[in-house]
């Protein structure tokens, strides 16, 4: 074990193998207990749990029972409580996106999380973009529900007409930890008008000015240790760390980033420098409740970080569980039985990695299946192609019997399937937007049917699409033509400009029944089971 220091980002930062909650098998050949009780502040954190309340299995699929799975809220709760019981100076934080991602949420919606949050020992949380999935009115009800911790959002400033106008989302909170004042500032995701179901009156203030103002208010109250809790993504967190003085630690979410050994995103923690040259530690802990981040911080008398250690801890099946939380998870599992027992068809196709992470990086089986189903639906209305943002895929459609529950787990948003007419240049613009993310990856990547495209991530954003071809009625592909009109099947999320696909909001309406995506996919399975192997090569990377 070794301690971190104030070395610049990019150098190897030694990490302390942390054992939290009476067990951390990665630290020793046997289970042991290690909590840094000497640290001035031990930050335990999670993000993007996405309703994986019982954790995940060895294949990354959500579990309905938490006894043999990794992660889960019961293990998180036990870890936090046990660390406190051992005398550690714990600050426990959730960086948002508790909503959406498993059948638990699809069936039970926000009241499920409201109840579980009454049992979770978090000190604070912030709001991710998926907290807006059901709109501002439902989010307002969730915020009003009783919980033991605040939802912090210093940048959220709804205006008249927004149901959130009078919701309680304080900008920051104060805690006395280890005899010192600790301030926690919250930054909610500020892109929800494009990413989720926020109402137009949902407004946000500038990130840098908001944080700087909150820091000044906290420092005026004698606070020298300040933590920023965000849901804006790792690169944005790092930029913010370099832009504002007074913040010691940024605990973030949104990009589902794992930090630590073997990570392309960086070590745990990433060390940035504030404008005045002070160290700022940036941490995040993947997603799906698999990990609990554990960051031990040491400060001098002026509240400046001197050294630190920690890692993102994988919560293994052998780790202790909070009995009260586990009991409620088991009770909610019973509500899923009817959906899991309703079989709609099957497929026996295995094409490698699939599901949320895989579909944001390349063509994936679940994306192929859904877009094939969309195009099958749209052909009677003249459609020749289908487009689906990869963020719509939340889990893999694993080989075997497929239930209604499997469909709602993989595609939980309940959006409509629509036919729209676009110029070829609008579709090309959508493909360039799809490829504009870092490494030409991300939730905006378009899964397709009837359309194939070639991209080069090494080129500048906006010039990454090298070729796009549309499948004709004769079964051959022809180049996408800028002034030709094409009828495409899209979801209502895309036709409303979701994920900032503004160009897809400008399509002409083609009259069609517009079914829910899950209903349409269930019918596709019923009519085509077992599904044929999909045509591949829809997304080609140079």
What DSSP string describes 103-123? HHHHHHHHHHHHHHHTT---S
Q: Which two tokens stand for residue 519?
A: 């209903």
What is the distance between the alpha carbons of residues 245 and 278, in angstroms, rounded to a whole number? 8
Q: CATH classification of 342-541, choosing from 2.30.30.830, 3.40.50.300, 3.40.50.720, 3.90.780.10?
A: 3.90.780.10
| Whole-angstrom distance, CA of residue 71 vs CA of residue 319 | 9
Give the pLDDT confidence score for residue 16 in this predicted structure: 35
The superfamily CATH assigns to domain 25-334 is Metallo-dependent phosphatases (3.60.21.10)
Contacts of residue 82, defined as CB under 8 A and 6 or more positions apart, other chains included, come to 20, 21, 22, 33, 35, 320
HEC profile for 205-262? Answer: CCHHHHHHHHHHHHHHCCCCEEEEEECCCHHHHHHHHCCCCCCCEEECCCCCCECCCC
Q: How far is CA 236 from CA 129, 146, 248, 256, in A?
A: 15, 31, 16, 13
pTM reported for the whole predicted model? 0.87
pLDDT, one tens digit for every residue, the chain (542 residues): 333 443 333 333 333 333 443 333 333 323 334 489 999 999 999 999 999 999 999 888 899 999 999 999 999 999 999 999 999 999 999 999 999 999 999 999 999 999 999 999 999 999 999 999 999 999 999 999 999 999 999 999 999 999 999 999 999 999 999 999 999 999 999 999 999 999 999 999 999 999 999 999 999 999 999 999 999 999 999 999 999 999 999 999 999 999 999 999 999 999 999 999 999 999 999 999 999 999 999 999 999 999 999 999 999 999 999 999 999 999 999 999 999 999 999 999 999 999 999 999 999 999 999 999 999 999 999 999 999 999 999 999 999 999 999 999 999 999 999 999 999 999 999 999 999 998 999 999 999 999 999 999 999 999 999 999 999 989 999 999 999 999 999 999 999 999 999 999 999 999 999 999 999 999 999 999 999 999 999 999 99
Given a contact cutoff of 8 angstroms between Cβ atoms, the answer to whether 433 and 506 are in contact is: no
- To 5 degrees, how large is the angle CA 396–CA 398–CA 402? 110
Contact criterion met (CB below 8 Å) for 93 and 293: no
Strand pairing category for 270-273 and 508-510: unpaired
- CB atoms near residue 310 (< 10 Å): 29
DSSP 8-state symbol, 415: P
E-only strand ranges, 424-464: 446-449, 451-455
Residue 32 has a pLDDT of 32
Residues 6+ apart with CB under 8 A from 72: 52, 53, 54, 55, 63, 66, 289, 315, 321, 326, 329
Query: For the chain, what are the domain ranges?
Result: 25-334, 342-541
Q: What is the pLDDT of residue 39?
A: 97
Torsion sign, CA atoms 356, 361, 365, 368:
positive
pLDDT at 28: 31
User: Tokens standing for 181?
Assistant: 């004042």
Nearest to 489 by CA among 450, 522, 436: 450
User: Which tokens in the block code for residue 209?
Assistant: 């000015």
Q: What is the pLDDT of residue 59?
A: 84
């Amino acid at each position: 074990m070794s301690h971190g220091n104030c070395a610049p980002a990019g150098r190897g930062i030694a990490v302390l193998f942390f054992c939290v909650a009476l067990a951390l098998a990665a630290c020793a050949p046997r289970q042991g207990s290690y909590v840094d009780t000497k640290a001035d502040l031990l930050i335990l954190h999670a993000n993007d749990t996405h309703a994986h309340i019982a954790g995940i299995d060895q294949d990354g699929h959500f579990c309905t029972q938490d006894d043999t799975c990794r992660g889960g809220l019961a293990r998180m709760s036990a870890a936090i409580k046990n660390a406190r019981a051992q005398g550690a100076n714990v600050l426990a934080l959730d960086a948002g996106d508790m909503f959406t991602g498993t059948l638990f949420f699809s069936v039970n919606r926000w009241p499920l999380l409201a109840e579980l949050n009454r049992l979770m020992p978090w000190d604070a949380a912030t709001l991710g973009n998926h907290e807006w999935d059901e709109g501002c009115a439902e989010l307002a009800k969730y915020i009003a529900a009783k919980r033991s911790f605040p939802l912090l959002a210093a940048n959220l400033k709804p205006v008249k007409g927004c149901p959130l106008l009078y919701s309680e989302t304080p900008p920051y909170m104060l805690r006395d930890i280890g005899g010192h004042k600790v301030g926690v500032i919250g930054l909610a995701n500020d892109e929800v008008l494009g990413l989720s179901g926020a109402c137009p009156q949902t407004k946000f203030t500038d990130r840098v000015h908001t944080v700087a103002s909150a820091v000044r208010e906290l420092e005026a109250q004698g606070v020298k240790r300040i933590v920023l809790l965000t849901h804006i993504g790792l690169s944005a967190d790092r930029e913010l760390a370099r832009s504002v003085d007074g913040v010691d630690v940024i605990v973030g979410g949104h990009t589902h980033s794992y930090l630590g050994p073997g990570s392309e995103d960086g070590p745990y923690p990433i060390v940035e420098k504030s404008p005045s040259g002070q160290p700022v530690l940036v941490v995040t802990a993947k997603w799906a409740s698999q990990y609990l981040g554990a960051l031990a911080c040491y400060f001098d008398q002026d509240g400046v970080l001197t050294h630190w250690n920690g890692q993102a801890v994988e919560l293994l099946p052998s780790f202790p569980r909070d009995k009260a939380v586990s009991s409620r998870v088991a009770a909610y599992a019973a509500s899923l039985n009817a959906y899991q027992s309703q079989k709609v068809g099957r497929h026996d196709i295995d094409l490698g990695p699939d599901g949320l992470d895989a579909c944001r990086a390349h063509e994936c089986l679940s994306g192929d299946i859904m877009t094939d189903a969309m195009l099958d639906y749209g052909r009677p209305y003249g459609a020749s192609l289908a487009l689906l943002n990869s963020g719509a895929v939340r889990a893999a459609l694993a080989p075997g019997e497929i239930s209604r529950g499997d469909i709602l787990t993989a595609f939980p948003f309940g959006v409509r399937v629509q036919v729209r007419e676009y110029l070829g240049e609008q579709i090309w613009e959508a493909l360039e937007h799809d490829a504009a993310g870092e490494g030409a990856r991300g939730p905006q990547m378009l899964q397709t049917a009837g359309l194939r495209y070639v991209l080069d991530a090494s080129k500048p954003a906006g010039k990454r699409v090298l070729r796009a071809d549309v499948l004709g009625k004769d079964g051959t592909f022809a180049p996408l033509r800028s002034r030709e009109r094409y009828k495409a099947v899209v979801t209502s999320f895309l036709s409303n400009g979701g994920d900032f696909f503004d160009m897809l909001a400008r399509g002409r309406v083609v009259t069609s029944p517009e079914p829910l995506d899950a209903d349409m996919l269930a019918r596709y399975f019923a009519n085509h089971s077992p599904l044929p192997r999909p045509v591949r090569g829809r997304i080609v990377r140079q």
